Amino acid sequence: MGAWYGERRHNESVTLVPFTFGLRYVPVEDEILCAESDLDNKAQNWKTEWENSRFHQELIVLLETHAGSASQRIDQIICFGLGNMISLSDPRAQRRSYVQHLAACTVRDTLASQQGGAAPTVFAQDPEYKSVDTSYLSEHFDCTVLDDPEGFRALNGNTFVITVSPNVPVRQVALDMTYDSNGPAGFLCNAIRSDGLEGEGLTRKECLEGKKIVYYTCNPSPALWKYKQQSLWMEHDDGDELDCFGKMGVYLRKQTK
């Protein structure tokens, strides 16, 4: 996301939640580095790449197979930390941000056809969004930007959460905020590959030596592992093809009977 939502607690024995939340300083917007016209020239190619990717195809298959029947109904999609595509200066980061937002649209459009009724509303929260990003998302993605921390406050049991390598524990916060519903209706997030208790089987030294990357700020947890076991899911690594997500998972909470 590029900016911290909270600060790390130093005395973690006091609480199970190692973060405090409060006010965050928001700097004056810098000069926008990418014109909308420049982005529009690239956008069609990025959209084509996304729609032709294996991840896109597998995502649609999972949603078409289970949405509206076996999985919990989804009324809203909330994206966390997908990046400020207009005001980014790094072309690779800009492409990743654009495609990740496209994924939210794919989820919305597929759910609209599978579930019936109104299409889920798409929201996005990222402290790095500038006003031009907000306008572009509204016009081109039909996506409403929420101020920090309103995205977290809006979470409920019918929310589909999208987050990619955030620098805050989005998945754990989402589970906590929707505890009474046994978690959100779904996730598109970094793959949940363990319960997080053993650092995915590697020591910190091994991680620092590059043998494996662990998402220290959005680690898996026993609660996330349990959520996965009770979900309908698929996992995919797009690193050799699209290279906009990494090792990802899509998890749909089963309907409660």
Alpha-carbon gap, residue 140 to 228, rounded angstroms? 33
- Segment 103-118 shows an average pLDDT of 97
**Mean pLDDT over the full length of the chain:** 85
188-209 pLDDT per residue, tens: 999 999 888 865 555 556 556 6
- The CATH number given to 33-253 is 3.40.50
- Segment 18-23 shows an average pLDDT of 54
* Structural domain spans, the chain: 33-253
Q: pTM of the entire structure?
A: 0.83
- Segment 213-226 shows an average pLDDT of 79
Q: In 3D, which of 165, 162, 160, 157 has the Cα closest to residue 181?
A: 157
45-91 pLDDT per residue, tens: 999 999 999 999 999 999 999 999 999 999 999 999 999 988 777 88
